[in-house]
Copies of this chain bind each other. A is one copy, B any other.
Amino acid sequence: MQEGLIPNVSVDCVVFGFDFTNLNVLLIERNFTDEGIDYADLKLPGDLMMLDEDLDDAAARVLKENTGLSNIYLKQFKSFGSPDRLKKKPRDLVWLRQIDHPEEHVITVAYYSLIDISEKRNDEIILSDNASWYPVHELPDLVMDHAEIIKSALEHLRIELLNKPIGFELLPDKFTLSQMQKLYEVILGTTFDKRNFRKKISSMKYLIPLDEKQVGVAHKPARLYIFSREVYSKTRKDNFDFSV
């Protein structure tokens, strides 16, 4: 094991990439050879923490080292510490022995993030060669407990989407209700009846209709909306919102 690392604490990063068709997750290849066979198993960007490193700094460092991505807001959501989390799959044990980290009990602190990887933005995102996006609903087999970590991250992301206006950061400034419906469908992994969806969002006073329609589309142009952060702050109230 590399000196300066803490043997029992790692960080893992679940980076969700949204592109209006799929919700994707960023995975990296774990390349190693065992008995003459090359393996390229898929895993989350993650690694052991370093001594005297802050947790959030460790997450940013590991993401950068593993994927090339930097300056992404990562939110800590949960730590995973089951004693057998590294030991369930035989090939993980082979790999752990090869990196001189045999059968340790590692607690991982997990972070997640949601970024825009639609066509418009995708050119700006430069990934390392061994990092790629995979649709979250068709994930291949993953190493260790990484499938469980992604599942938990997805639950946290969905709760945040249902409770905070994070979705609007992925929409254009002016958007149609169909685009908005698609965003919710993709992230929540479901489909909505168009009429029910519109009924549900009709109470959102912070969705402001414009006197403007789409241009340059083949179909009948739809009305454009904006999200008003100001109205949102003023009108949003939970049933329990007593904050003073």
Residues on A lying within 8 angstroms of B by beta carbon are: 6-9, 49, 51-55, 58, 76, 78-83, 105, 107, 109, 161-165, 184, 188, 190, 192, 197, 200, 203-204, 236, 238-244
Contact = CB atoms under 8 A, between A and B. Distances in A.
Task: Please list the 3 inter-chain residue pairs (A to B) with the smallest Cβ-Cβ separation, ordered nearest first.
Answer: A55-B81, A52-B83, A162-B240
Given A55-B79, A200-B241, 10 more contacts: A6-B107, A9-B107, A55-B81, A76-B78, A81-B109, A162-B238, A162-B241, A188-B243, A203-B239, A236-B239
Nearest to A7: B8
Nearest to A181: B242
Nearest to A85: B54
7 contacts: A49-B107, A55-B82, A79-B109, A107-B109, A161-B240, A162-B238, A192-B244
Contacts of A82: 54-55
B54 A83 contact: yes
Contacts of A165: 240
B8 A240 contact: no
A54 to B, nearest CB: 6
Contacts of A161: 240
A82 B51 CA distance: 10
Contacts of A105: 6, 51-53
